[in-house]
């Protein structure tokens, strides 16, 4: 942890962290679902609507030109953040879910045929499973699943065995939302490319915790959501390699995505505009840029180091609780802790924690196949961010002792 990491100041930047919930200090451990927003992001949205609101790419007037400039500047900022070669490789979408559906639709549909294969892992969120299942069903293609070890590690040897000349797409999470496991996406990509397959990375839980360099990873697509990165809801990003985006047909038709429209036929704009039909979430893009500036000001390396320390502290502290079983103990994890406690239902645990002001997620985390592997219907998940503290972990531990008492554990 570096001296520049001023946790008290950081916490003051997030007003909601000062809230009392049920008379207790809020302990917000549901960052995997969505993160809280710093004041700079809140003010950016307010400033946009109060002083700058206009539609983009169409007005000759000042505000429209200014909004267009800001929108395209944000695209550049997002590109730098994940080290894309060109800002035109950044497509603004609603979130990770839409980004993955876009790839399945515009890349997958024209490319896939009967008996082709798509590989995913047992660790995927439903949004990196269902679009591929739908595509397979439509095309007569097959979905293959890379299994995991008991600790929740991606089994690379099994992956290697599943790859073949039939594999067209490999779609994997950068980090599992249910267990925190970090997947070796660079190595996964290199091997997929040897087999002529393209790689789609679901970065929803990668970007908030890990420095991301898409050129270094060499993945073909990378998807993430602004709201899990301290930005607004309703805005997300699809990164795609230039040549792939150029070869892809549109996702939705409408205004902005065209070059020329007539009843004899329509031609489409080049990417990224081709994939941004209609009025986009202009305020959201501004908020996302501001969130990225905030994360950069804290420092991506500093965030990773601080969270690693917090995770190690939490793992050790929670292991002391009688009956607690950590679900997912991979060597490389982002700051996510999933667990069960005796045979107490996770929703009951979540309810007791809520009474203590502690927000966790209790459920299957939209990762039912991961739960099926562990033969549990649900877990309690504490997903951390860089504004969380050891004192908050201590509060969780104390509350879990209480849960044990309440339910006679
Ligand atoms: N992929 C992963 C790995 C995720 O964690 C999520 C959301 C998504 C995709 C979908 O993102 P969206 O912004 O399009 O909804 N994960 C969670 C979660 O863990 N708890 O609530 C939402």
Q: Among the atoms of ligand 1, which is closest to the Cα of residue 236?
A: 13
Position 1 scores a pLDDT of 46
Residues 61 and 188 in one domain: yes
Instruction: Tell me the three state secondary structure of residue 40.
Output: helix
On average, the pLDDT of the chain sits at 96
| Cβ pair 256, 69 in contact under 8 A | no
* Burial letters 369-396, b for 16+ CB under 10 A, else e: bbbebbeeebbbbbbbbbbbbeebbebb
Does 1 reside within a domain?
A: no
Tokens matching residue 73: 């500047």
Does 36 reside within a domain?
A: no
- CATH (domain of 392): 3.90.1150.10
* Residue range 352-408, pLDDT digits in tens: 999 999 999 999 999 999 999 999 999 999 999 999 999 999 999 999 999 999 997
pLDDT of 409 > 60? The answer is no
pLDDT of 3 > 70? The answer is no
In this prediction the pTM is 0.97
Residue 33 CA to ligand 1 center (angstroms) comes to: 6
Specify whether 136 is catalytic.
no
Tokens matching residue 296: 């950069």
Atom 18 in ligand 1: residue holding the nearest Cα: 33
Which of 93, 127, 129 for a ligand 1 pocket mutation test, highest count of atoms within 8 Å of Cβ? 127
Which of 185, 205, 378 for a ligand 1 pocket mutation test, highest count of atoms within 8 Å of Cβ? 205
pLDDT of 43 > 70? The answer is yes
| Cβ pair 357, 4 in contact under 8 A | no
Provide the domain count of the chain.
2
Rounded average pLDDT over 317-343: 97
Beta bridge partners of 157: none
Per the structure, the complete domain to which residue 325 belongs is given by 7-30+299-406
Rounded average pLDDT over 287-309: 97
CA 57 vs. chain centroid, Å, equals: 28
| Cβ pair 125, 305 in contact under 8 A | no
Does 303 reside within a domain?
A: yes
Domain boundary among 271, 296, 321: 296
* Residue range 126-160, pLDDT digits in tens: 999 999 999 999 999 999 999 999 999 999 999 99
Atom 22 in ligand 1: residue holding the nearest Cα: 33
Q: Are strands 324-326 and 336-341 parallel, antiparallel or unpaired?
A: antiparallel
Residues 234 and 361 in one domain: no
Show the beta-strand stretches assigned E in 288-355.
Answer: 324-326, 336-341
Residues 322 and 362 in one domain: yes
Q: Is the CB of 223 under 6 A from ligand 1?
A: no
User: Apex CA 343: angle with CA 178 and CA 347, to 5°?
Assistant: 55
The single residue of 119, 366, 380, 396 carrying the catalytic annotation is 366
* Residue range 256-292, pLDDT digits in tens: 999 999 999 999 999 999 999 999 999 999 999 999 9
Does 156 reside within a domain?
A: yes
* Residue range 200-209, pLDDT digits in tens: 999 999 999 9
Q: Among the atoms of ligand 1, which is closest to the Cα of residue 178?
A: 19
pLDDT of 251 > 80? The answer is yes
Domain boundary among 296, 319, 353: 296
Residues 67 and 213 in one domain: yes
Does 310 reside within a domain?
A: yes
Residues 266 and 258: their CA atoms lie apart, in Å, by 7
Domain boundary among 252, 276, 296: 296
Q: What percent of the chain has pLDDT over 70?
A: 99
Residues 213 and 253 in one domain: yes
Residue 2 CA to ligand 1 center (angstroms) comes to: 30
Query: Angle between the 390-406 and 346-355 helix axes, to the nearest 10 degrees?
Result: 120
Residues 263 and 150 in one domain: yes
User: Apex CA 173: angle with CA 329 and CA 308, to 5°?
Assistant: 45
Residue 238 CA to ligand 1 center (angstroms) comes to: 14
Q: Among the atoms of ligand 1, which is closest to the Cα of residue 124?
A: 3
Does 2 reside within a domain?
A: no
Q: What percent of the chain has pLDDT over 90?
A: 97
Does 35 reside within a domain?
A: no
Residue 368 CA to ligand 1 center (angstroms) comes to: 13
Atom 15 in ligand 1: residue holding the nearest Cα: 97
Q: Which residue has the tokens 């699943």?
A: 145
* Residue range 109-119, pLDDT digits in tens: 999 999 999 99
Q: Is the CB of 204 under 6 A from ligand 1?
A: yes
pLDDT of 13 > 80? The answer is yes
Residue 294 CA to ligand 1 center (angstroms) comes to: 21
Residues contacting 72, CB < 8 A, separation 6+: 87
Give, for 68, the enclosing helix (H) or strand (E): helix 62-81
* Residue range 148-195, pLDDT digits in tens: 999 999 999 999 999 999 999 999 999 999 999 999 999 999 999 999
| Cβ pair 254, 278 in contact under 8 A | yes
Residues 79 and 143 in one domain: yes
- CATH (domain of 283): 3.40.640.10
Position 124 scores a pLDDT of 98
Residues 264 and 311 in one domain: no
Q: What is the torsion angle, in degrees rounded to the nearest 10, for the CA atoms of residue 273, residue 274, residue 275 and residue 281? A: 30
Q: Among the atoms of ligand 1, which is closest to the Cα of residue 225?
A: 13
Q: Among the atoms of ligand 1, which is closest to the Cα of residue 233?
A: 13
Q: Is the CB of 272 under 6 A from ligand 1?
A: no
Residues 313 and 204 in one domain: no
| Cβ pair 380, 371 in contact under 8 A | no
Residues 282 and 325 in one domain: no
Beta bridge partners of 120: 145
Residues 275 and 326 in one domain: no
Residues 327 and 387 in one domain: yes
Smallest CA-to-CA distance from 107 within 259, 273, 240 is with: 240
């Amino acid at each position: 942890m570096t001296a520049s990491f001023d946790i008290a100041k950081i916490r003051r930047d997030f007003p909601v962290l000062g809230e009392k919930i049920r008379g207790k200090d809020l302990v917000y451990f549901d960052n995997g679902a969505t993160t809280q927003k710093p004041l700079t992001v809140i003010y950016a949205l307010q400033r946009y609507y109060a002083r700058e609101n206009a539609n983009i790419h169409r007005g000759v007037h000042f505000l429209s030109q200014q909004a267009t400039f800001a929108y395209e500047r944000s695209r550049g900022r997002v590109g730098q953040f994940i080290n894309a070669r060109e800002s035109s490789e950044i497509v603004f979408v609603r979130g990770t879910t839409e980004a993955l559906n876009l790839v399945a639709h515009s890349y997958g549909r024209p490319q896939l045929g009967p008996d082709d294969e798509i590989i995913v892992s047992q660790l995927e969120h439903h949004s990196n499973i269902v679009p591929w299942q739908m595509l397979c069903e439509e095309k007569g293609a097959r979905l293959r699943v890379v299994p995991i070890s008991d600790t929740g590690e991606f089994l690379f040897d099994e992956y290697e065995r599943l790859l073949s000349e039939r594999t067209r797409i490999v779609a994997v999470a950068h980090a599992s939302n249910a267990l925190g496991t970090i997947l070796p996406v660079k190595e996964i990509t290199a091997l997929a490319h040897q087999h002529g397959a393209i790689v789609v990375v679901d970065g929803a839980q990668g970007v908030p915790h890990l420095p991301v360099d898409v050129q270094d990873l060499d993945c073909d697509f990378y998807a993430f959501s602004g709201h899990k990165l301290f930005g607004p809801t309703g805005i997300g990003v699809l990164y795609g390699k230039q040549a792939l985006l150029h070869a892809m047909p549109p996702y939705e038709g409408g205004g902005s995505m065209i070059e020329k429209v007539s009843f004899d036929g329509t031609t489409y704009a080049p990417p990224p505009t081709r994939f941004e039909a209609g009025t986009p979430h202009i305020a959201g893009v501004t908020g996302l840029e501001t969130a990225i500036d905030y994360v950069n000001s804290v420092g991506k390396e500093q965030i990773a180091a601080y969270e690693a320390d917090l995770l190690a502290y939490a793992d050790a502290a929670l292991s002391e609780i009688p009956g607690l079983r950590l679900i997912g103990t991979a060597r490389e994890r982002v700051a996510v802790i999933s667990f069960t406690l005796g045979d107490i239902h996770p929703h009951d645990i979540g309810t007791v924690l809520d009474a203590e002001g502690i927000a966790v997620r209790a459920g299957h985390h939209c990762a039912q196949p991961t739960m099926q592997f562990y033969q549990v219907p649900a877990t309690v998940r504490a997903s951390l961010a860089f504004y969380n503290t050891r004192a908050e972990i201590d509060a969780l531990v104390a509350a879990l002792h209480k849960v044990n008492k309440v339910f006679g554990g």
